[in-house]
């Protein structure tokens, strides 16, 4: 474990990020907003997939599982290679701080733990057209429904990890994994909703076992 302090404050309050009031407002969001926006969208995509009558139950489940799996990979790649990309220019450094650096400096800021709609909606639209380019409907709708569900799970888990006390071994494992990313080593543990890809590409935290004491016989 490192002795270096990897954060500025654990206060749940927000610091001022922009001078312009409208930009400051757009940078903050209550954790319930993604639920309000994306649950109807997920429901709509699921409805389109089922109502088409062209997907059997096996195909629907298969596309849905692929969509969720695709999200876990997307989450990992974005977190590791985009959010943790460290540009050299001053402008690039400012952008990095706005998008992710502020979260590491103020990890418990309650209004900057889920993606604001100003970011999540353009990303969702971009991914929809990306998947649409090579996944035919109605499989696309089942895929997109669980892809967005994966994003919603990520946002809610992220908020809960920093602000809620949830009991359970599985949850504690997930919470410990993410908090180590913040407070032990920010270059490890990039999965938030799942540590799957951290284990696959070996960016997980190594478990260290306590050394056993050897006993020598006294003659």
pLDDT (tens, 9 = 90+) of the chain, 219 residues, equals: 445 788 899 999 999 999 999 999 989 999 999 999 999 999 999 999 999 889 999 999 999 999 999 999 999 999 999 999 999 999 999 999 998 999 999 999 999 999 999 999 999 999 999 999 999 999 999 999 999 999 999 999 999 999 998 889 999 999 999 999 999 999 999 999 999 999 999 999 986 555 545 444 443
* Count of structural domains, the chain: 1
Domain assignment present for residue 169? The answer is yes
Full residue range of the structural domain in which residue 173 is found: 28-200
Phi-psi region of 189 (alpha: psi -120 to 50; beta: other; left: phi over 0): left
Domain assignment present for residue 211? The answer is no
Domain assignment present for residue 14? The answer is no
Domain assignment present for residue 94? The answer is yes
Domain assignment present for residue 155? The answer is yes
Domain assignment present for residue 15? The answer is no
**Residue 219: what pLDDT?**
34
Task: Report DSSP letters for the chain, one per residue.
Answer: ---S---S---SSPPP--SSHHHHHHT---THHHHHHHHHHHHHHHHHHHHTS---HHHHHHHHHHHHHHHHHHHHHIIIIIIT---SSHHHHHHHIIIIIHHHHSTT-TTSSS--HHHHHHHHHHHHHHHHTTS-TTHHHHHHHHHHHHHHHHHHHHHHHHH----SHHHHHHHHHHHHHHHT-TTS---SS--HHHHHTT-SPPP-PPPPPP-PPP-
**Residue 6: what pLDDT?**
87
Domain assignment present for residue 103? The answer is yes
Domain assignment present for residue 170? The answer is yes
């Amino acid at each position: 474990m490192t002795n270096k302090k990897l954060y500025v404050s654990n206060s749940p309050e927000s610091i001022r990020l922009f001078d312009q009031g409208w930009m400051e407002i757009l940078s903050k969001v209550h954790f319930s907003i993604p639920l309000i926006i994306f649950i109807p969208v997920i429901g709509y995509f699921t409805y389109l997939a089922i109502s088409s009558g062209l997907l059997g139950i096996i195909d629907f489940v298969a596309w849905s599982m692929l969509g969720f799996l695709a999200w876990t990979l997307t989450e990992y790649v974005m977190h590791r290679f985009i959010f943790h990309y460290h540009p050299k220019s001053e402008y690039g450094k400012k952008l990095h701080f706005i998008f992710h650096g502020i979260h590491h400096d103020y990890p418990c800021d309650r209004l900057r733990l889920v993606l604001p709609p100003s970011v999540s909606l353009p990303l969702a639209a971009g991914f929809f057209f990306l998947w649409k380019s090579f996944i035919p409907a109605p499989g696309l709708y089942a895929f997109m429904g669980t892809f967005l569900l994966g994003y919603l799970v990520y946002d809610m888990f992220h908020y809960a990890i920093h602000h809620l006390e949830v009991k359970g071994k599985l949850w504690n494992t997930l919470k410990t994994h993410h908090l180590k990313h913040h407070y032990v080593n920010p270059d490890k543990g990039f999965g938030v909703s799942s540590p799957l890809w951290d284990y696959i590409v070996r960016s997980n935290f190594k478990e260290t076992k306590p050394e056993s004491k050897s006993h020598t016989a006294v003659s």
